[in-house]
């Protein structure tokens, strides 16, 4: 099928945009720690069933297990928890815009720690992406809107992006120790993160019994399940198809269009007023990421 990689990348971007809207609602309802643990638990179950049904190779050596666990701890426990906190504080539109800078952060870290190349185009792409985010962040605050731009929310978003970038670096190191199926790697990463985060949530009294919590709130449970299927399950699957069926630069650029897809969703579901600056800033940010992946 022609353009299957490009179509898959756009489908994944649409799914991630939808997830940001859904998980914002769930985070507001049950809290960020509860959301993160519950969606990791559900995703692990779905992925495990998939591994069994399709007999996916589950070979993992001790080094891969170590680096995937570190990746999950930093990217999912730290990164995604702060991303969900940003959802609650500044809304999915701005949170995902800030979060989209994570490929640039990963490129900088890879330059220093993995000796990967970062040339003039890469630096230009990072600067363009940062300028797009700055346009939106520094825009005059709107009134009568559900979400406001706050320093705390911006910091949450930046920590989320940094956590995801560092998590990606460790995930990439995993492949230095042999091939591993992407579904298997995702399962190990999610499960190890859940094992780490669950006791922390209980100790900090930020996690409640999910059966009791969702027993009388089936609507929130449906949102959580839908978001989990769309993200760690379908989103990652489409991303993998994209990366294996087209050039990585094209796939990465199309996957980075999430902030653009979030715009109409945020306007529809949260009645956010979209200014020309906010729309232009999102496109500039995506353009910066596109330039970065032209390396």
What gap in Å lies between CA 98 and CA 84, rounded to an integer? 12
The confidence score (pLDDT) of residue 172 equals: 84
Domain extents for the chain? Answer: 4-292
Q: Pick out the chain residues at pLDDT < 70.
A: 1-2, 142-144, 240, 243-244, 248-249, 295
Pair 164, 255: CB distance under 8 Å: no
Helix, strand or coil, per DSSP, at residue 24:
helix
The confidence score (pLDDT) of residue 237 equals: 77
Which residue shows structure tokens 């990366």?
243
Distances (CA, A) of 112 to 129, 289, 292: 20, 19, 16
The confidence score (pLDDT) of residue 244 equals: 67
- Among left, alpha and beta (phi > 0; psi -120 to 50; other), residue 31 is left
pLDDT digits (tens, 9 = 90+) for 9-58: 899 999 999 999 999 999 999 999 999 999 999 999 999 999 999 999 99
Quick count: other Cβ atoms within 10 Å of Cβ 173? 18
Length of the chain: 295
DSSP state of 78: I
Secondary element (H or E) of residue 66:
helix 62-72
């Amino acid at each position: 099928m022609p353009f299957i990689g490009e179509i898959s990348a756009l489908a994944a971007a649409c799914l991630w945009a939808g997830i940001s809207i859904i998980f914002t609602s769930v985070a507001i309802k049950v809290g960020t720690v509860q959301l993160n643990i519950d969606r990791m638990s559900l995703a692990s179950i779905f992925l495990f069933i998939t591994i069994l049904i399709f007999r996916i190779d589950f070979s993992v050596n001790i080094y891969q297990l170590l680096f995937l666990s570190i990746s999950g701890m930093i990217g999912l426990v730290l990164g995604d928890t702060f991303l969900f906190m940003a959802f609650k504080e500044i809304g999915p539109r701005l949170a995902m815009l800030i979060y989209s800078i994570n490929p640039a952060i990963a490129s900088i870290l890879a330059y220093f720690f993995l000796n990967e190349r970062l040339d003039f185009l890469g630096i230009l792409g990072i600067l363009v992406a940062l300028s797009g985010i700055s346009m939106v962040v520094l825009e005059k605050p709107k009134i009568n809107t559900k979400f406001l731009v706050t320093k705390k929310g911006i910091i949450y978003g930046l920590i989320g992006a940094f956590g995801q970038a560092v998590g990606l670096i460790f995930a990439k190191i995993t492949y230095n120790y042999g091939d591993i199926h992407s579904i298997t790697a995702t399962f190990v990463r999610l499960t190890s993160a859940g094992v780490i985060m669950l006791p922390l949530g209980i100790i900090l009294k930020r996690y409640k019994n999910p059966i009791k919590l969702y027993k009388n709130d089936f609507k929130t449970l449906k949102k959580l399940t839908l978001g989990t299927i769309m993200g760690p399950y379908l989103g990652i699957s489409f991303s993998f198809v994209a990366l294996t069926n087209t050039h990585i630069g094209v796939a990465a650029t199309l996957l980075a269009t999430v902030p653009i897809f979030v715009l109409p969703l945020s306007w529809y579901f949260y009645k956010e007023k979209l200014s020309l600056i906010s729309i232009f800033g999102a496109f500039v940010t995506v353009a910066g990421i596109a330039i970065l992946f032209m390396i």
